[in-house]
Amino acid sequence: MSVTEIVPNVSERHVSRAASVPFDAAKQADALTEAFTLIGAAVRFDRNTEIFGEAEPAEYFYQVVSGAVRMYKLLSDGRRQIGAFHLPGDVFGLEAGQTHRFGAEAIATSVIRVARRSAIIALAARDHDLANELWTRTADRLQLAQDHMLLLGRKNAEERVASFLLQMADRAAAERTLDLPMSRQDIADYLGLTIETVSRTLTQLEGKAAIELPSSRRSAFAIAPRCSA
């Protein structure tokens, strides 16, 4: 089955070996997820596959069913700034304008539910719960962006890494062990640090008994926070 058969008018270059997959709506019960289930389609994106590119038309909304997604922008000198990570249940692609300001890639093999932006907005115009959920999701993303701005502007390396780990643990509802899907290079590009600084800071936090690292060689590593703040 081609991508255009799953989601009409989606370019073939957006995915690699995409396939329609089932979606367990019982895992999420909010109005927006119900709308995605009703009018969207689930598509599989392989690891490091582009979902959409910067400045491309923002014709679809997206929800992570499984896996993880990074939002990124390439600077003029080739450096990469990651602006956000999206985990299962997260909705992304909620642009204010008609084009995407950041590109999106699958961090690992991911299942993404895709729905036409115009169809979701049309439903929201008739459904108060859906309109409220869209507003709530957008406000949540704004709060995360504000937190990210504070992190980049005012925190030192240790504070950045610690804040990131606590935020990810909170978003993943992890009580003790946190399995991160992104690489240390991804974390560095999100925190505005070098990969060497991220690795050194993780070692320092481990030395302070704040976290435990099972392996320094894993690209997706588990972290066990021992503090809650």
Whether 47 and 107 have beta carbons less than 8 Å apart is answered as yes
Give the contacts of 136 (CB within 8 A, at least 6 positions apart). Answer: none
Stretch (H or E) spanning 61: strand 60-66
**Residue 155 pLDDT:** 94
Q: Assess contact for 43 and 15: CB atoms under 8 A.
A: yes
Q: What is the pLDDT along the chain (229 residues), one digit of tens a residue?
A: 223 334 544 433 333 333 333 434 334 458 999 999 999 999 999 999 999 999 999 999 999 999 999 999 999 898 999 999 999 999 999 998 999 999 999 999 999 999 999 999 999 999 999 999 999 999 999 999 999 999 999 999 999 999 999 888 888 876 677 888 999 999 999 999 999 999 999 999 988 888 888 765 544 445 554 444 4
The values of phi and psi at residue 59, to 5°, are -95, -10
Q: In the structure, how many helices (H) and strands (E) does the chain have?
A: 7, 10
Which amino acid is it at 139? Answer: A
What pLDDT score does 170 carry?
A: 86
What pLDDT shows up at residue 210?
83
- Predicted local distance difference test score (pLDDT) of residue 6: 42
Bridge partners of residue 57, in order along the sequence: 99
Which amino acid, 11? Answer: S
| Cα distances (angstroms) measured from residue 53 to each of 43, 58, 64 | 17, 10, 17
The pLDDT, as a whole number, for residue 7 is 53
| Global model pTM greater than 0.85 | no
Joined tokens for residue 107? 């961090």
